[in-house]
Structure 1
Amino acid sequence: MALAAEILGDRWTLLILREAFYGVCRYDDMREDLKAPRSTLTDRLNSLVARGILEKRPYQEAGDRVRQAYVLTQAGQGLALTFLALAQWGEAHVTGGAAPVGVVDRETGAPLHVALVDAEGAPADPARAALRLRR
C-alpha cells in the first residue's frame, strides 16, 4: 500500500488519472480542465509514463504538427477499482451524498459499487477481513 501511495499519492497525479479515466488524453485538454501549472502537469505525466501507468500515442489534427496523447495502459486501467472505491468512500464520508457521476451497469443501468468478495465471489463483510503475512 505504501509503495502504491508513493506513486499515486499526490493531488495532481490523482487528478490526471481521473481525467484519463474520463477519456481526456490530450495535454492541452488536461491543462485546461485541471488548471495545472505546465511544469507540474509535464512532470506528473512523464512520471506516469515512466511507471507504465500511461503511454504516449501520437495523434495529428489536420494542418497541425504531431502531438502526443496520454492513454491508460493495462496497469493504468487496473486502477479503475481503486478509483471507484475512493469515489464510493468519498460519497459516504466526505461529500455526504451522491456524486454527480456514478457507475452503472452498461446493460441494465443498475448502480454498481466496489465490494469485498470471497474466493467464490460471494460478498464478504469487511469487518471480518484480517491482514496476514503471505508465505
Structure 2
Amino acid sequence: MVRQNVVVDNDRCSIARALGVVGERWSLLVVRDVVNGVRRFEELREHLGVARNVLSRRLAELVDAGLLDRVAYREFGSRERYEYALTPAGRDLWPVLMTLMAWGDRHLADGPPPVEHEHLGCGGKVALVPVCEHGHDVDPADLGLRLGR
C-alpha cells in the first residue's frame, strides 16, 4: 500500500467534531475525574479548583452531548442532589485520556509519572497500543488513510 494524503473537511472530520464537544480544557478534566470516581458537584469543584459557573456550564454541556448522565441521590436528612455518571460514550473517552496522559508523561513530565494505571486483576501496568484488526502493532509511519464510505 502506498501512503497518500487524504484531506477531510473540518465539518466532516471526526477529530474536529470531537474537539467541538471535549476540546475545552475543563471538559476533559471533568471526564477524567468522573472516570476516577469523583462524581458529585462539590467534589468536582474542589478537586478541579474551577469556578462554580464554569463547572455548571461544562457539566450541562457534557450531559447534553451524551457523555455524562445526571443521577439523583439523597443523603439522609438532605434534599435530593445529583452526581454524574459516565454514559457509554463517556466511557469510550477513557482510551483518549490514557493516551493524553501517556503523552504528557513522556513529553512534559519533570519527573516520574504522577500516577500509573494498573490492572486490578493482576497488578500489571496498563498501556494502550494501536493495533490493526489482525493484531499487528501499528506505528504512525505504517498508517494509511482511506476515505470512509
Query: Residue 77 of structure 1 aligns with which residue?
Result: 91
Runs of at least 5 residues in structure 2 that lack an aligned partner in the other structure: 1-14
Query: Residue 101 of structure 2 aligns with which residue?
Result: 87
Q: How far did residue 134 of structure 1 move?
A: 1.9
**Amino acid aligned to 1:38:** R
Query: Residue 123 of structure 1 aligns with which residue?
Result: 137
Candidates 99, 106, 110, aligned match of 2:113: 99
Identity of aligned residues (%): 37
**8 Å contact from structure 1 (residues 116, 126) kept in 2:** no
Q: How far did residue 14 of structure 1 move?
A: 1.4
Query: Residue 38 of structure 2 aligns with which residue?
Result: 24
Query: Residue 113 of structure 1 aligns with which residue?
Result: 127
Greater relative CO, 1 or 2 (CA 8 Å, sep 6+): 2
- The one-character-per-residue Cα deviations of 1:68-112 (angstroms, maximum 9, x if unpaired) are 111111110010101001001111111155422111222221212
Runs of at least 5 residues in structure 1 that lack an aligned partner in the other structure: none
Count of residue pairs the alignment pairs up: 135
Instruction: State the alpha-carbon separation in 2 of the partners of residues 119 and 38 from structure 1.
Output: 44
Instruction: State the alpha-carbon separation in 1 of the partners of residues 34 and 106 from structure 2.
Output: 24
Candidates 51, 58, 62, aligned match of 2:76: 62
Query: Residue 59 of structure 2 aligns with which residue?
Result: 45
**Amino acid aligned to 2:115:** V
Instruction: State the alpha-carbon separation in 1 of the partners of residues 87 and 35 from structure 2.
Output: 11
Instruction: State the alpha-carbon separation in 1 of the partners of residues 133 and 111 from structure 2.
Output: 31
TM-score, structure 2 normalization: 0.85
TM-score, structure 1 normalization: 0.93
**Amino acid aligned to 1:61:** E
Query: Residue 3 of structure 1 aligns with which residue?
Result: 17
**8 Å contact from structure 1 (residues 20, 70) kept in 2:** yes
| Aligned-pair Cα RMSD in Å | 1.3
